[in-house]
Structure 1
């Protein structure tokens, strides 16, 4: 299959599959707490890495490692993120001072946190499995590009909605909602729910 055709197929399949998925809900939470620029960069890095793993070694890892240990580790990481979400987030004020090294560090920290969260959440997810299956029968580069764009697009729909909601909700409530969302996904992974 041609690169463009593979990308279009992967985009369509993954975008639709990602609607309402846990990572889109996480993106909504990130959009409520952080600038859309930071969220977009974090989502792109996280989804890109998850898609690359799916395309390159997803099928091999899925066959080599049992799903349950991956779910347990992922669940524990989400619970840790829930606890970390409760800390006060003063670095948001640094958006206008990105020339300062503290502002850059805060920005890169938020972006890295978002990327890591998305990467962990995508491990073994239906979209990652779909991406691996599509790559097995079509152009892997096109599949990776299309799947990444599909996931980022779906995630940004959630982040934009979160940004609208986030402007109307006090930061302390957002911290508690984010923590609850992370905890919910962590517990569901520990219990073996998708």
Structure 2
């Protein structure tokens, strides 16, 4: 349960103001069809985070517990610093909107936008930290949906009322605490 809850919270916070959330707002404004956009986000996230989670599990099996602890701890600290850098949407993520319809465009754009993104890297690290791949992928996917569904449904209204700087600072703090706890070998996970 801890893996699921931590994964959900970290990704939900980390996704606030992220380029994929900006992409969700753009798709919602362009197409004005929330259901296929939301379903596209779900499918893209499941595919992307399942692959990232598998990679994290593979890395965990490859490295020993001591090396893994240091890699994950330092990775979480790097994620904390990265959270403080604001995202801007990539131009290539906007391309090709007419060819695949609303659902297809959303799946392709979100999958590509998540490649190497903070939340994908976080999913790799979380899957390496926790032994339950299903809990991590379910949690990171729920976190993505919690952050992006309101962006699709409310678009600009959300961006005007939520301080992205504060959200990123809270997410950075959570990553830093997880990194320090991992380096200190606190908890029963290792």
Provide the TM-score with structure 1 as the length reference: 0.56
Instruction: Report Cα offsets for 1:22-58 as digits up to 9, x if no partner.
Output: x21233243881533443333112211112333x33x
What is the CA-CA distance between 1:62 and the residue it aligns to? 0.4
Instruction: Report Cα offsets for 1:58-104 as digits up to 9, x if no partner.
Output: xx5104x2735641343023312431xx13326564473577xxx96
What corresponds to 1:89 in structure 2? 89
Where structure 2 has 5 or more consecutive residues not aligned to the other structure, the ranges are: 25-40, 101-105
| 1:75/1:185 contact within 8 Å kept | no
User: Equivalences for 1:72-83 in 2 at 5 Å?
Assistant: 72-83=74-85
Picking from 42, 50, 53, the partner of 2:48 is 42
| 2:80/2:174 contact within 8 Å kept | yes
Where structure 1 has 5 or more consecutive residues not aligned to the other structure, the ranges are: 1-15, 132-146
| 1:74/1:121 contact within 8 Å kept | no
Instruction: Report Cα offsets for 1:151-174 as digits up to 9, x if no partner.
Output: 322332333222333343117947
How many residue pairs match? The answer is 149
Cα distance 1:117–1:73, how it changes in 2: closer, same or farther (>3 A)? Answer: closer
Cα distance 1:95–1:71, how it changes in 2: closer, same or farther (>3 A)? Answer: farther
TM-align CA RMSD? 3.7
Cα distance 1:95–1:46, how it changes in 2: closer, same or farther (>3 A)? Answer: farther
Q: Distance in 2 between matches of 1:188 and 1:98?
A: 44
Q: Which has the higher helix share?
A: 1
Cα distance 1:17–1:185, how it changes in 2: closer, same or farther (>3 A)? Answer: closer
What corresponds to 2:144 in structure 1? 159
What corresponds to 1:192 in structure 2? 181
Q: Distance in 1 between matches of 2:84 and 2:98?
A: 28
| 1:50/1:119 contact within 8 Å kept | yes
Q: Distance in 1 between matches of 2:115 and 2:161?
A: 21
User: Equivalences for 1:67-146 in 2 at 5 Å?
Assistant: 67-68=69-70, 70-83=72-85, 86-89=86-89, 91=91, 93-94=94-95, 96-97=97-98, 107-113=111-117, 114-123=119-128, 125=129, 127=130, 131=131
Provide the TM-score with structure 2 as the length reference: 0.57
Q: Distance in 1 between matches of 2:72 and 2:174?
A: 14
